Amino acid sequence: MWEYTDKVREYFLEPRNVGEVDNPDGVAEVGSIACGDALRLTFKLDENKRISEAKFKTFGCASAIASASALTEMVKGLTVEEAEKITNQDIAAYLGGLPKEKMHCSVLGQQALEKAIAYYRGVPTEVKEGEIICE
Ligand code: FES
Ligand code: FES
């Protein structure tokens, strides 16, 4: 059995920011071929171009839910330039660590954010067939 930190449990059992932002500035969906899980992320910027709201929906596991939820909290108040520097290790650290077998699940949120930012910038962001976003 994997050991989860209290923070992972908390973010899994009562995830913050589940759902979808109205009139989002950034939208993305990513999927993992490895585990078949998927995640949708939306965010909105305020008049100072800072992220005021971010929400997610996922078919992922407990770690993916906790990671995505943590990420939506972490990005609040950041500019997209600041938000895109967040790595999946940062997400895991915010949660007090993830079991190493579950580190890949935090990649889903991080990649969704990257794509949602690309969408915001007008870069085409289709998830390519067969794309693998984690190992
Ligand atoms: Fe699929 Fe975690 S998201 S194993
Ligand atoms: Fe589940 Fe990587 S295998 S997110």
Pocket around ligand 2 at a 6 A CB cut-off: 32, 34-35, 37, 104-105, 108, 134
Please report the ipTM that was assigned to this predicted complex.
0.82
Instruction: Walk me through the domains of the chain, giving residue ranges and CATH numbers.
Output: 6-120 (3.90.1010.10)
DSSP state letters, the chain: -----HHHHHHHHS-SSBS--SS-SEEEEEE-TTT--EEEEEEEE-TTS-EEEEEEEE---HHHHHHHHHHHHHTTT--HHHHTT--HHHHHHHTT---GGGTTHHHHHHHHHHHHHHHHTT---PPPTT-----
The rounded Å distance from CA 104 to ligand 1 centre is: 7
pLDDT category at 1 given cuts 50, 70, 90 is low
Asked whether the predicted pLDDT for residue 128 surpasses 70, the reply is no
The rounded Å distance from CA 48 to ligand 2 centre is: 35
pLDDT tens digits, residue range 10-40? Answer: 999 999 999 999 999 999 999 876 677 899 9
pLDDT tens digits, residue range 78-126? Answer: 999 999 999 999 999 999 999 998 998 999 999 999 999 999 999 876 6
8 lines ligand 1 (CB under 6 A): no
Confidence at residue 127, expressed as pLDDT on a 0 to 100 scale:
52
Confidence at residue 31, expressed as pLDDT on a 0 to 100 scale:
85
